[in-house]
Chains A and B, each alone.
Chain A
Amino acid sequence: MKKSLLLLLAILVAIGLAACSSNSNSSSGTNSASGSEAAGEPEAETVTLSFWRHDYAPEAEALKKLIASFEEKHPNIKIDFQMIPNDQYETKVRTALAGGNPPDIMALDAPTLASYANQEAIIPLDDYFAKDGNKDDLLKPVIEGLTFNGKMYAAPNNEGTIVMFYNKKMFEEKGIPLPSKNVDEAWTWDQVLDAARKLNDPSKGVYGWSPTPWGFAGHEGAPYSEMAFLWQAGAEILSPDLTTSKGYLDSAEAKKAMTFWKSLYNTEKVSPKELPQDAFWNGKVAIHVDGPFAFSYQEQNFPDFKMGTDYDVAPLWKDKNMIGTTGSWGMAITSKSEHPDEAWQFVNWVTGVEGSKVWYEETKNLPARQSTFDSFAELKEYPMNIYAEQLAKYGHPRPVTPAYPAISEAIRLLFEDVGLGNADVDESLAKAVKKIEDGIALQKQ
């Protein structure tokens, strides 16, 4: 026993050492010269650009296509594309930045842009956009969401917003009139609540209304949908100059939004404190909210649950205002990159006029460019027209400030405390304001 164990150890050590030494040389260099063809020309040098993005299969496929076409067109540039599990994407990026070892190009969600820009981890792209970026073609809320201190720091892959999904069969069974498909005639909170009361069926485990796509999730998905409630009620999260949330997030309008939210989960009990997986698609939730990516998710995972017969979409609900949160992922170039010009070529390839069309075709995400909207007739038809029109008329980006991580967390916890925990509205708002103020103060240091 003992001898064979020792032998095993010895073998493992030997193999291990060999493997380690053969691997240790392949650490990521950004630049490897192979210029033997066109002698002496700087263009002949092969540039390798590293590009990190969160892992999401349908979008990764689209990127791989765009990378392949880009490399074909630019034989001297290679893209080293790394997908990182979404869960820890920020951890990985921030560690690499702290270590001075970031990729050349990184994907980011719009509101995190300001904190990276503020640390000068990413570079402004205005000069590039002026040269060949077709900035005029980008939608206004998109530019707004990617601009910090007057400069644009990222190029958008697409735009995003959320609309209402409803289980058509359940509506018909209960004889509830279907909501309008016109974005100017969105249902009010009270109309939705009224329908939800009728649809609610605890004995069958059916909830009337899940006002947030993933329930009380621990990620950006929750505040994304929750912020809309505040804005719809007429509240703001920050002052217009983004320096304080005092007097804005604790306003009467915010209190109204939170009181309504509280009632959904605690007195009306139409909303699930614990959202079952795929609740809407399994018929456990009657009214739901989701992005355009939901359609491909349904086709892939719930092919028998069909639009038109089982479910339909309508504009998001409204209160005093009609507002839908916007913002999605873009691509930024890090300040450590030794090849920003080549990096821009790639970014512009993916996010430019032609790249955006490929991106839309592959991912069916809401475009960030007018030219893409103009080239696809289906974007003017149901269901995509609801997203498109709501975006154009009622879109509202999340605040662009370096303190956004604190804001996102404060909003998420605020809605959790009030919804899940049935906490006092005034106290919870005060707590959220304090958290945001602390976050802003930290940035000022």
Chain B
Amino acid sequence: MNKNLLVIVRTVVMIAIAVVALFPIYWMVMSSFRTHEEIFKYTTLSPELFMPVRWTLQNYKDIFLDPSKPFGRYMLNTLFVAAFVTACGLVVNAMAAFAFAKLRFPFKKLLLTIFMSSLVIPYEVIMIPQYLLMRDLSWINTFTALIVPQIVWVFGIFMLVQFFSDVPRDILDAGRMDGAGWLRIFGKIVLPTAVPAMITLGIMTFLNQWDSFLWPLVVINEEKKQVIQVAISSFQSLRNISWGKIMAATSISSVPVLVLFLFLQRYYVQGITMSGVKG
């Protein structure tokens, strides 16, 4: 009896939390099927508040069929940049983290400290120097400028250092004894144990890139190379906000991230618990 009550209470609480978390998403998707006129019309508790009265696909048509703002193109651009940064980032950051965690070399502590301290510098401070650098490399208005500066991610290195330092030294020594080089040890022994951590980092990097706004806005000067967040922001102009378009665009833009997360969720959770509990 008592146990049943506990289960009920727990279920109710969990449902309540789920509703709170999911309602904004539900509202976003439903609003994307409303006309502009309807989105803010209903403010009292009524069926109209939860369901569009006049279902319309106009918002989706508007964003995808506007030739001056090819939304599909922006999605592909962003997907390309995000996937590329994630792929390169995983390789580079994992190697750097492995070196910091397991290799012995001079000034290691100092280097790691300098690296970590860069975490506290706000992005706005480095944006202009970074822009000047891009200009000197004549990378302005190219995907290279979107990709290269984003590959090394100090937070990612930090996270993986935590993870790699838990790998017992004995295993690595055993590998050395059998004649494996560091690269082989990294690829064959360390990396396979780190799959959950890598997937976690991968999702985070991808999400970060998918959401990036300020940097692409500043370095890209050509409409057809722009990324998705800048396009969404352009629906909000000086004198009006096209809420219908924004809702449709944000609904569409959450799909890739949701899909990615659904497929890799298992590993993601595992990665968090492993890096947290061990140690």
Chain A positions within 8 Å of B, measured between CB atoms, are: 2, 8-9, 12-13, 15-16, 19-20, 23-24, 26-28, 50, 54-57, 60, 64, 82-88, 91-92, 95-96, 98-101, 205, 219, 221, 276-278, 281-282, 284, 291, 293, 297, 301-302, 304
A277 with B87: in contact, given A86-B237, A88-B214 (CB under 8 Å)? no
In the assembled complex, the Cα of A152 lies from the Cα of B63 at a distance in Å of 39
B140 interface hit (Cβ, 8 Å)? yes
Choose from B68, B140, B240 the contact partner of A101 (Cβ within 8 Å).
B140
Chain B residues within 8 Å of A50, by CB? 221
- Which of B140, B192, B237 gathers the greatest number of chain A CB atoms within 10 Å? B237
Closest A residue to B140 by beta carbon equals: A27
Choose from B80, B138, B223, B237 the contact partner of A82 (Cβ within 8 Å).
B223
Closest A residue to B195 by beta carbon equals: A2
Residues 131 to 185 of chain B near chain A (Cβ within 8 Å): 131-132, 135, 138-144, 147
Smallest Cβ distance from B46 to chain A, in angstroms? Answer: 13
By the criterion CB–CB under 8 Å, are B83 and A12 in contact? yes
| List of 6 A-B pairs having minimum Cβ-Cβ separation, nearest first | A85-B233, A277-B40, A16-B84, A56-B237, A85-B234, A12-B87
By the criterion CB–CB under 8 Å, are B141 and A12 in contact? no
B57 interface hit (Cβ, 8 Å)? no
Chain A residues within 8 Å of B223, by CB? 82-83
Chain B residues within 8 Å of A281, by CB? 37
By the criterion CB–CB under 8 Å, are B87 and A9 in contact? yes
Chain A residues within 8 Å of B241, by CB? 277
By the criterion CB–CB under 8 Å, are A84 and B217 in contact? yes
Chain B residues within 8 Å of A297, by CB? 239-240
Closest B residue to A220 by beta carbon equals: B238
Smallest Cβ distance from B135 to chain A, in angstroms? Answer: 5
Closest B residue to A213 by beta carbon equals: B239
By the criterion CB–CB under 8 Å, are B217 and A26 in contact? no
Closest A residue to B127 by beta carbon equals: A95
By the criterion CB–CB under 8 Å, are A302 and B88 in contact? no
B128 interface hit (Cβ, 8 Å)? yes
By the criterion CB–CB under 8 Å, are A99 and B83 in contact? no
Choose from B36, B40, B139, B236 the contact partner of A24 (Cβ within 8 Å).
B139
Q: How many residues of B contact A (CB 8 A)?
A: 47
Chain A residues within 8 Å of B213, by CB? 88
A26 with B143: in contact, given A83-B234, A95-B218, A301-B36 (CB under 8 Å)? no
In the assembled complex, the Cα of A9 lies from the Cα of B40 at a distance in Å of 45
Smallest Cβ distance from A34 to chain B, in angstroms? Answer: 20
A27 with B240: in contact, given A12-B84, A95-B128, A277-B40 (CB under 8 Å)? no
Smallest Cβ distance from A15 to chain B, in angstroms? Answer: 8
Chain A residues within 8 Å of B230, by CB? 85
By the criterion CB–CB under 8 Å, are A291 and B239 in contact? yes
Against A, the Cβ 8 Å flags (1 = close, 0 = not) of B194-230 are 0100000000000000000110011001110100001
In the assembled complex, the Cα of A138 lies from the Cα of B145 at a distance in Å of 43
In the assembled complex, the Cα of A13 lies from the Cα of B142 at a distance in Å of 17
Closest B residue to A282 by beta carbon equals: B41
B97 interface hit (Cβ, 8 Å)? no
- Given contacts A8-B87, A96-B218, 18 further A-B pairs with CB under 8 A are A2-B195, A24-B138, A24-B139, A28-B221, A28-B222, A50-B221, A82-B223, A85-B234, A87-B236, A88-B233, A95-B127, A101-B135, A205-B43, A221-B238, A276-B43, A277-B39, A291-B239, A301-B37
By the criterion CB–CB under 8 Å, are B37 and A302 in contact? yes
By the criterion CB–CB under 8 Å, are B217 and A98 in contact? no
B60 interface hit (Cβ, 8 Å)? no
Closest B residue to A8 by beta carbon equals: B87
- Which of B40, B90, B243 gathers the greatest number of chain A CB atoms within 10 Å? B40
By the criterion CB–CB under 8 Å, are B40 and A276 in contact? yes
A55 with B234: in contact, given A82-B221, A91-B218 (CB under 8 Å)? yes
B91 interface hit (Cβ, 8 Å)? yes
Smallest Cβ distance from A47 to chain B, in angstroms? Answer: 17
Smallest Cβ distance from B270 to chain A, in angstroms? Answer: 14
By the criterion CB–CB under 8 Å, are A23 and B40 in contact? no
By the criterion CB–CB under 8 Å, are B243 and A20 in contact? no
Closest A residue to B66 by beta carbon equals: A57
Residues 35 to 88 of chain B near chain A (Cβ within 8 Å): 36-37, 39-41, 43, 68, 80, 83-84, 87-88
By the criterion CB–CB under 8 Å, are B83 and A26 in contact? no
In the assembled complex, the Cα of A445 lies from the Cα of B141 at a distance in Å of 34
A282 with B36: in contact, given A55-B237, A82-B223 (CB under 8 Å)? no
